[in-house]
Amino acid sequence: MSNITKAFQNGKAFIPFITCGDPDLETTAAAVRAMAQNGADVIELGIPFSDPTAEGPVIQAANIRALSGGADTDKIFDLVRDLRTDVTVPLVFMTYANVVFSYGAERFISICREIGIDGLILPDVPFEEKEEFAEICRRYEVDFISLIAPTSANRIGMIAKEAEGFIYLVSSLGVTGVRSEITTDLGAIVKVIRENTDVPCAIGFGISSPEQAKQMAEIADGVIVGSAIVRLLEQYGREAPAYIGEYVRNMKQAIGTIHSNI
């Protein structure tokens, strides 16, 4: 069982996302530590990309700020090396195929293993084309995280059967961003997932409030939040880590027990 899957054994998992380098890497490090101290079970680290096709305007703007500030893949690898001196919570990179491909997929994934990255999410890689990356991930024991969307339909079972770490269930059609209401029949999708795998399932896209988090945690094994956290960085800049820690604590309280992961 991977470190990511184990993170779901303590009850419902809370998985916050942050764009590395927004507004700078020092703030990212402080925010990640605040997340871990306040109960985050897995943390997604976004490697910024110039054309983040799955992202809404909030995270797109964070990507632009991070790239403008000089964040790049090697600096983010160094960030993770620093975090791993005291942060034990599983860490997952979320980025795009071009970032990994241009760096060299084997080189990228081997460094992930070396520095303590537990998983990789590439939202622009369809299931049918994942093997190019998944095979290397298996070799270096990095979970290649699968996404299932409301449009996955008759492919849900097929994707679930091959899933590793956790399944990222996309709550709604479209891109990331805060939503006032989630109307997808997620229960039906989770039922099919659970008929095909024991790998835990976490719901992301559109979740921002403790009430929404509680509602989603009743359906799935965990909850993923990105845009609401990135908004705190946009609002508070270098002062954001304290606000992010409080936000993570409130969200974790809404879905279950809190324990420090640092």
Segment 71-90, tens digit of pLDDT:
999 999 999 999 999 999 99
Cα separation values, 209 from 33, 38, 39, 171, 216, Å: 21, 16, 16, 15, 11
Whether the pLDDT of residue 147 is over 60: the answer is yes
Long-range contacts of 189-198 (CB under 8 A, 24+ apart): 189/148, 189/150, 189/152, 189/156, 190/219, 190/220, 192/156, 192/157, 192/160, 193/148, 193/156, 193/157, 193/160, 193/167, 193/169, 195/157, 196/156, 196/157, 196/160, 196/161, 197/160, 197/161, 197/163, 197/167
Mean pLDDT across 231-239: 96
Unique residue bearing structure tokens 């270098």: 238
The answer to whether residue 144 scores a pLDDT higher than 70 is yes
pLDDT of 181 reads 47
Name the architecture of domain 3-255: Alpha-Beta Barrel (3.20)
pLDDT tens digits for 182-210?
A: 446 899 999 999 999 999 999 998 898 99
**pLDDT tens readout for residues 99-108:** 999 999 999 9
